[in-house]
Amino acid sequence: MNTRSTHEPIIRMQNIEKHFGSVIALAGVSIEVYPGECHCLLGDNGAGKSTFIKTMSGVHKPTNGEILFGGRPMNFESPRDAMDAGIATVHQHLAMIPLMSVSRNFFMGNEPVKKVLGFNLFDHDYANKITMEEMRKMGINLRGPDQAVGTLSGGERQTVAIARAVHFGAKVLILDEPTSALGVRQTANVLATIDKVRKQDIAVVFITHNVRHAMAVGDRFTVLNRGQTLGTAQRGQITPEELQDMMAGGQEMVALEGSLGGTV
């Protein structure tokens, strides 16, 4: 596991608050993310995970608090600014076109071109070569670059999206519940991909509500509960049972067990 190759975090979020009218989605969240680590952000539905990653990736501006990226105040006006700086988000519902080839999806929005008779045309050969190389690095051997994305498994599609983000310069990779809809084998493939990405000194923020998946690859673990962090623990400092208890709200579970006579 990574011991943090640098002492400086690439992202430091300090006392982040986000209000939507009278609703307080984030109530003073602080977190640091280092290059080359997998930082797992855990929490049940409604814990504030979605708002948190949208604030980190430039979709939302914080109501209060400060975000430092590379040691400097981060003032992104849009997700495009965040992407240009190297913060990439792979969402649970992937933005891919199933009937389109893997290479076309890989280069969507970043199409390589070559000039033919004065016209700019999609450079199929270059796109195919890079796609095959990048997928092979992630442990996926495609039948061919023209294979339709829709024929890939869920885990393989997640890997396409991750490989694409890495190829186009991600310094921070935010993975939003990448294993939530996958079976055991596909989950194992995605977790192996996360491990490969981390070893390239890229910071991975792995959002999940699955403690087992987090413990498989995580270097540090932060639990969100009702818009607040309940602390950050390093690998080896916390057990899966303790993490699960924190996610459930600890004291609430104890009270519930008492009221139900210990049957929870």
Token output for 76: 């992104």
Instruction: Give the pLDDT score at 262.
Output: 52
* Pairwise CA distance, residues 153 & 160, whole Å: 11
Q: Which of 47, 22, 8 lies closest to 247 in space, CA to CA?
A: 47
Q: Which of 94, 43, 22, 14 lies closest to 208 in space, CA to CA?
A: 43
Start-end of H helices in the chain: 49-56, 79-85, 102-106, 124-137, 154-167, 184-198, 211-217, 240-248, 251-259
Instruction: Give the pLDDT score at 115.
Output: 84
Question: What letter would DSSP give residue 151?
Answer: G
Instruction: Give the pLDDT score at 234.
Output: 92
What integer is the mean pLDDT of 50-68?
91
Domain residue ranges in the chain? 11-96+170-259
> Would you place residue 7 in the very low, low, confident or very high pLDDT band (cuts 50, 70, 90)?
confident
Spatial contact of 86 and 80, defined as CB atoms under 8 Å apart: no
pLDDT tens digits along 21-32: 999 999 999 999
Give the least confident one: 11-25, 160-174, 225-239. Answer: 225-239
The packing angle between helices 240-248 and 251-259, to 10°, is 80
Q: Which helix (H) or strand (E) holds 95?
A: none
* Pairwise CA distance, residues 204 & 1, whole Å: 13
pLDDT above 60 (res 257): no
- Topology of domain 11-96+170-259, CATH: Rossmann fold (3.40.50)
Give the neighbor-by-neighbor strand order of the sheet with 220-225. 87-90, 172-176, 203-208, 38-42, 220-225, 228-234
Spatial contact of 89 and 53, defined as CB atoms under 8 Å apart: yes
231 vs 165, more confident: 165
Question: What letter would DSSP give residue 226?
Answer: T
pLDDT above 90 (res 173): yes
pLDDT tens digits along 65-77: 999 999 999 888 8
pTM for this one?
Answer: 0.87
pLDDT tens digits along 183-206: 999 999 999 999 999 999 999 999
pLDDT tens digits along 124-172: 999 999 999 999 999 888 888 899 999 999 999 999 999 999 999 999 9
Instruction: Give the pLDDT score at 254.
Output: 46
Burial class of residue 118 in the structure, from the number of CB atoms within 10 Å of its CB (0-12 exposed, 13-18 middle, 19+ buried):
exposed
Token output for 231: 């602390």
